Structure 1
């Protein structure tokens, strides 16, 4: 590591693989834990530097294979949300088709088969290469166990789309066995399928989560929800009904309007809902970018008094209408990046940076959900009320801090993913 940033790595406990812009890291911050993320996407790294989040701009596999010694030894928590595109309903489905094969690879890795042979077999599947990344958390876990001077991770937290839940079940089975390369080290492990709106996220999103803890440190309690579920099968509504907006929600999930209104009132807020204001409230409805039931023309609709659809990297394509008359006239608004971030429960002033910011927002773990998961995994409790209340505003980060973190993450750029600084170098050459 470069000396200018050594103090930024003091006391770090959590390693976040595939860290993205920092959903789990933001959650860790508000719970009082320090983390470092590994992320290959340059744009997400720029957001992380601006937010003051320690980062290594690198490929997760390369770090494990040839740079493992750079990972702070203070880390005892491994967290990961491997890329989900190949498993996602919105993706090609390659991961779902390869699910049974991937289960076999998990067993083969723990059994101690030659990893080069396993990798060759994985490539021979001819599926989306990102499918194999779901095996990386297991490989990192075993790497720590087998490296002299390293202790096993005390806690493991994994998050993915719901289609991956069967793989987390296999992880849990093997982690509890202590067999093979686990060298007798056993974990208590549980997996859940979680609905984000049940944890105060103003969005319906289903995630498969695994939490494991060293067996000697005690079991894992239930992950208790805090809000009522949203009825996804509530029946069709006609946009011609002018009184729909007056229907109050009958449950305690958080609506889009409530989340955005509260964010807009905060000091220095980057969220402005004035374009949706009526005399007494904020009212709008959203038409999804995605079709439903196999019909691309059957776009779903959500009222402002309801949670948002799953926030994806294409959220900027959702059409937001102020009223039904404008819907007929095809006049619509778009959610801004800060607004999309708030629907993901990022702070209203989170410093989104770099390009593809919509994709960054959509790829992230909702920090509010992350707070519940990490708090349950590390403390066995829900986040404190004060911690949740404080999570709506991000602390200011100085330019010098961001620059120091960029040195840690990129250094002289020679060890960053190939081609990731191509644009930067060309600009430097043309500079006077």
Structure 2
């Protein structure tokens, strides 16, 4: 189905002339207009349709084109897009129209992508469990409207799952790409921090340089792992090649549950089935946490790192910073030693499937599994697994080896399954 094709598929079809960018873009706007999930909250219809027509003419002339040529897509409403408001869901920013693109947006355009609009965020990006704000309202999970799509990139993940975009770009400090990807059943990548530039990722106001970027990162969301690779390559530069090219050659570490943050029965069953399928396919599985890694201590240390990130933007240094930085260095070294003998590490993205919209929920407990990969600065993919409401399988790779994690997620889809549109059967892959 055209609405649910991957960006890689669509780009190939446009280059071959079997798909027309103008038609795809018009169809996308029609679906956005008809959608009830409130995922896309701003559009640039005129400029996008003109760019799509120009893209089709370039193909007809035989011009050299970029890897995302003619692909219509959206980006999270935290990145500056020339001509569109950058609101972060705050009513006071409703009329703050950007006069230039964020670096991520500029690089996507340079690769040929057509920005059609912006996806909804939680207010000021301040929640990873839901997406709602006083300016644009609440975003619903396309798989079940009574449930949250996660946050703060919930609009991004919901737009992909609902067929309202072909590619998305979000941001992740404490799971804001990976948790929505898990809840909506799409792919999301938090790259190694520093891989993708963050200029233009800020509330309205004069350009600022972040006092401290770690652990925040910008990264793509998509309907396939191959799309993650494509988007990361055009926004972050050349990738170090994957360690392995065949699924059966991967050495895989696995932890699917922990007493400190037990997974639900649905998540446990989905991820156990996934690992069993990988083992049957010849993947070498090693169970247990890496030596010298204390997951409870790591979760607490990551919480401090998030606090330190915000404090640094205010020019503050919280007490105990030196000791916490030492703990991060120790954790980073422990994971570095582990990846000498292991290629990727698998675990839950989050311990539950998508939760219902309920203000009584505590969402801070969702970060335990996110923290394990974020504290040492590892690239991590959330990949969909299971039937019904999807579970998220987090695939972490060695630092600066993002494509190792992406390639494993891509190959694993052949035996575990991948994205499926809402309302369809068990997970399958649409572009392989």
Tell me the TM-score normalized by structure 2: 0.23
- Largest Rg, 1 or 2: 1
Tell me the TM-score normalized by structure 1: 0.23
Return the structure number with greater relative CO, CA threshold 8 A, min gap 6.
1
